Amino acid sequence: MGIVEDKTITLFESLDDISIYRFDKCMHGHLKYMIASYEYGIQKLYPIETKIVWDKLYDKWCVLTGDLESAQVYTLACEIDYLKNLMAFVPVLMMQLIKGCNNENEVIEELRSWRFIIDKEKDIISEIERLGHQLRATESKLNMKLDDYEELNKKDVKPMTLQQQKVRLERALGVSIRIKKTSATEWLAYCNELQNLKPLRTNE
């Protein structure tokens, strides 16, 4: 079964079921696209439950893209983009709580969407201190990802957006790809086929 059902939401758990379009959105931190019924409307998101399912799905993706350099760079670029945004927004939200604000509940929910969870039953200052440790760990993770990205750039492997990859695949393979209908598994099959074509063309 490729979909996990909650009392109120239904989540994708298989790369065979989630479209590459939705997967790309999730890679950039928009986990609401993990919800099967989500398209353009507003729907409540449960960050903790969704993150658990997303992490498992992302692990499967990483295993399958282990030998695909272009996919590795794409994945890394998405991670860096997400972490940079996190490092820009989360400190601002934390500072609002420290100074005191009228919309405290909204700020706490926004932090949850970035996976920074505050226990409302505990002292807010001690909770913010705990999140400070989490933020520093995230900064270290970002620096490591930037180092990895620099190493891949030395190999002259450049990141491309999903649309750029789509155009490249269509031209090289002579196919038409609908990213909102093509599953993540199918997308990787196209990427594998393109990579397998490279040595053949070199030998021609």
pLDDT of residue 186: 95
pLDDT of residue 9: 73
pLDDT of residue 128: 94
pLDDT tens profile 115-171: 899 998 899 899 999 999 999 999 999 999 999 888 877 766 667 889 999 999 999
Say if residue 154 is in the same domain as residue 80: yes
DSSP string computed for 46-115: -HHHHHHHHHHHHHHHHHHTTT-HHHHHHHHHHHHHHHHHHHHHHHHHHHHHHH--TTHHHHHHHHHHTT
For Cα atoms 165, 24, 140, give the angle at the middle one, nearest 5 degrees: 105
Say if residue 143 is in the same domain as residue 117: yes
Say if residue 19 is in the same domain as residue 51: yes
Say if residue 88 is in the same domain as residue 135: yes
**Given 159, 175, 190, which residue is the final one in a domain?**
159
SS3 content of the chain, % helix, strand, coil (to 5): 65, 5, 30
Burial bucket for residue 58 (CB in 10 Å: 0-12, 13-18, 19+): middle
Say if residue 97 is in the same domain as residue 176: no
| Residue 5 φ/ψ, nearest 5 degrees | -105, 130
Say if residue 123 is in the same domain as residue 174: no
Give the integer Cα–Cα distance in Å for 80 and 88: 12
Say if residue 148 is in the same domain as residue 72: yes
Structural domain total, the chain = 2
pLDDT tens profile 70-102: 677 788 888 898 899 999 999 999 999 988 888
pLDDT of residue 45: 58
Say if residue 99 is in the same domain as residue 142: yes
pLDDT tens profile 4-35: 555 567 889 999 999 999 999 998 888 889 88
Say if residue 201 is in the same domain as residue 120: no
Say if residue 154 is in the same domain as residue 75: yes
Q: At a CB cut-off of 8 Å and minimum separation 6, what does 75 contact?
A: 27, 61, 62, 65
Range of the domain at 48: 1-64+161-204
pLDDT of residue 47: 59
